[in-house]
Amino acid sequence: MLAPAIDDIVRVTTHNLALVRASTLPDIPVVFTERYPAGLGPTHPDLLEASCSAIVYEKSISAQLESRSFWKR
């Protein structure tokens, strides 16, 4: 998992959890993207737990979010 290598992971996770939780108020969809989860690890479990309706996509290229086909899924 990449999380142990991130400086101040507690602060980073806390801020991301706040964003995920806030998205549930106005019913904003949450999309997590994972780049090379086999090597870098999956999305942090606390983030997944905070948004039970989140969609997780494994990215195959860095600019995948710019692709129109990505958003048609």
Q: Is 59 exposed, middle or buried (0-12, 13-18, 19+ CB in 10 A)?
A: middle
Model pLDDT for residues 19-72, shown as the tens digit of each residue:
988 887 777 888 888 888 888 889 999 999 888 788 888 876 666 556 666 566
Each residue of 33-57: b (16+ CB within 10 Å) or e? eeeeeeeeeebbeebeebbeebeee
* Count of domains forming the chain: 1
pLDDT of residue 11: 93
Question: Domain range for residue 32?
Answer: 3-71
